[in-house]
Amino acid sequence: MIPQITVQLYSVREQTAADYEGTIRAIAAMGFGCVETAGYPGSTPAKAAKLFQELGLKAPTSHGSLPVGDKKNAVIEEALLLGHEAIFTGCPPDFHASFSSADAVKATAELYCEAAANAAAHGLQVGYHNHDWDLASVGGTPGYRIFLENTPETVLWEADVFWVAKAGLDPVAFLNEIGPRGKMLHFKDGVLNASDTFTEAETESGKIMVSASSPFLPAGTGQMDLLAASRAATFAKYIAVELDSYTGDMMEAVQQSYNYLTSTGIARGNK
């Protein structure tokens, strides 16, 4: 079955901060039946849940904190309120330090295993969303492989195909490698050879990497072969539109991405 299209709401963080309800209504009008939350700038989880219900929107996934330690109950309660199936981290809890050595990756994997066990008790899953830096070799072995070897397949991997390609890896081979962990994917497009420098930034949903330039483009207008990636996305239930930034109108870019991904059969929406 063709995966459902969704949109990572971090893309429209400026718009939601100014008018959360209006932005979400506009996204629903585009044809999206799903969204992926990343904090609630301009709103709250309770208000967002009510709005989503009114609009018939689902939020099967989120970017947020792992359900461990003091945050465990709050994270799980919020996920259940929003109807999430899986909670992904935008970046690992210790950011670059999480992939600084093989032992660090193993410790990170152990934390995700703990989170997965806590989430499973409530019918939820947890997963990891990659950038490019966490795909580099650690002591001669790709860090992500150490992570995969030390976690069960129930710990998902939300592959961002743009970052996979940016790291010099083949997105098709990567999707084949993660297999059933790839239930939710980010089909980001952009300029792979842009001379950009990424720096760390703190957001409501955790740490991210941001760039002074903007290599990201609407799906179908950049250098990514998203059609080839889609043929390898055999386990995907959801495929997300995401632009970390954009020099033009972000809402138009989201709409253009929706149109491309649905018209090519990569994903299905409500229109």
Query: Please, what is the average pLDDT of the chain?
Result: 94
Residue with tokens 């709050």: 74
Q: What's the confidence (pLDDT) of residue 214?
A: 67
Q: What's the confidence (pLDDT) of residue 105?
A: 98
Q: What's the confidence (pLDDT) of residue 193?
A: 79
For domain 4-263, say whether CATH 1.20.1050.10 is its number.
Answer: no
Q: Which residues of the chain have pLDDT under 50?
A: 205
Q: What's the confidence (pLDDT) of residue 215?
A: 87
Please give the Cα distance from 176 to 160 (Å, whole number): 14
State the pTM of this model. 0.93
Q: What's the confidence (pLDDT) of residue 200?
A: 58
Q: What's the confidence (pLDDT) of residue 212?
A: 54
Q: How far apart are the first and last CA of the chain?
A: 17
In a 13 Å sphere around the CA of 257, the CA atoms on its Cβ side amount to 31
Burial of 128 (0-12, 13-18, 19+ CB in 10 A): buried
| DSSP assigned state of 12 | G
Q: What's the confidence (pLDDT) of residue 162?
A: 97
Q: What's the confidence (pLDDT) of residue 135?
A: 96
Q: What's the confidence (pLDDT) of residue 195?
A: 60
Q: What's the confidence (pLDDT) of residue 151?
A: 98
| DSSP assigned state of 128 | E
For residue 106, the Cα-to-chain-centroid distance in whole angstroms is 22
**Residues composing the chain:** 271
